[in-house]
Amino acid sequence: MDAVLRPVTDTDPTATEDNKLPNRPSRAEAEAAARVLLHWIGDDPEREGLLDTPKRVVKAYEDLFSGYKEDPREHMERTFEEVGGYNDIVLLKDISFTSFCEHHVLPFTGKAHIAYYPNHAVVGLSKIARVVDIFARRLQTQEHLTVQISTAIEKYLAPRGVAVMIEAEHQCMSMRGIQKQGVSTLTNRFSGAFENDASEQVRFMTMVRS
């Protein structure tokens, strides 16, 4: 099955690259900021166990928030048209992810379920999961994450419809504030063939829960 590269001239407006961040702090400044926070919480950043912690924190942030340096277009533009006439739902269930709440910078973890109706072509299954990771590895709200994933698939794959369901547990709710454990938040977004057809939404939900 030969891949088809679909040219897309514009890039994702939510992608953040180094050259789009004027006056971005240096690594040394980021490490100094982490050191200040350690001092602020009441610990001694000069004690043995914390000497290298600012460096570790900055390195961890590079990994946890690597989505700012990636563009989902690069993963969605290569599609496959030799699918034997297949035009029914393509569903990926239980795509695990970890993201961080933009309000408290605390993690929320969960699973994404994504379906689309192909329009002449499909995309590699791992690319859908990659799109989830790209947006999850940014400061987020679950609602915005749901919309970003759906919008990227709509924009770069141009399917006949997209359905996205995300269910997640937020540590900003379980670790602080009201401190309620095990509360799951569910968000959905439907477009195209799914948007105005309740039977298609039910079919999607049934397939996810089966």
Instruction: Confirm whether 144 is a catalytic residue.
Output: no
Average pLDDT score over residue span 163-192: 92
In this prediction the pTM is: 0.87
Give residue 17's identity as a one-letter amino acid code. Answer: E
For residues 47 and 85, membership in a common domain is answered with no
Same domain, 149 and 118: yes
The answer on 202 and 101 residing in a single domain is: yes
Burial (CB < 10 A; 0-12, 13-18, 19+), residue 63, is: exposed
**Pair 53, 86 in one domain:** no
Are both 177 and 126 inside the same structural domain? yes
The Cβ of residue 124 has, within 10 Å, a number of other Cβ atoms equal to 14
> What digits encode the pLDDT tens for the residues 12-71?
444 444 446 678 899 999 999 999 999 999 999 999 999 999 999 999 999 999 999 999
What are residue 90's DSSP bridge partners?
116
Question: Would you call 113 a catalytic residue per the annotation?
Answer: no
In a domain, 8, yes or no: no
> Do residues 111 and 22 share a domain?
no
Annotated active-site residue 39? The verdict is: no
Residues 179, 88, single domain; the answer is yes
**In angstroms, rounded to a whole number, what is the distance separating the alpha carbons of residues 153 and 155?**
5
Among 79-83, 157-161, 163-167, the least confident range: 79-83
Q: To the nearest whole number, what is the mean pLDDT of the chain? A: 90
Catalytic site includes residue 142: yes
96 is a domain residue: yes
Together in a domain, 43 and 82: no
In this structure, the answer to whether residues 145 and 101 fall within a common structural domain is yes
Asked if 181 and 174 count as a contact pair (C-beta separation under 8 A), the reply is yes
Domain-located, residue 205:
yes
Domain contains 2: no
Please indicate, yes or no, whether residues 24 and 103 belong to a single structural domain of this protein: no
Is residue 191 pLDDT above 60, yes or no? yes
> For 89-127, what is each residue's pLDDT tens digit?
999 999 999 999 999 999 999 999 999 999 988 999 999
C-alpha–C-alpha distance, residues 184 and 136, integer Å:
17
- Judgement on whether residues 177 and 86 belong to the same structural domain of the protein: yes
Binding residue per annotation — 120? Answer: no
46, exposed or middle or buried, with CB in 10 Å at 0-12, 13-18, 19+?
Answer: exposed
Between CA 146 and CA 154 the distance in angstroms is 12
**pLDDT at position 169 over 50:** yes
Residue 127 pLDDT: 96
- The encoded tokens of residue 95 equal 């795509």
Catalytic residue of the set 103, 120, 143, 195: 103
pLDDT score for 17: 42
Q: Is 130 helix (H, G, I), strand (E, B) or coil?
A: helix
- Read off the CATH number of the domain in which 183 is found: 3.30.1130.10
Q: Phi and psi of 4, rounded to 5°?
A: -115, 125
Tokens read off for 51: 């000497």
| Domain carrying residue 59 | 18-64
User: Do 192 and 103 fall into the same domain?
Assistant: yes
172 appears as a binding residue in the annotation: yes
* Total domains present in the chain: 2
* Number of helices and strands in the chain (H, E): 7, 8
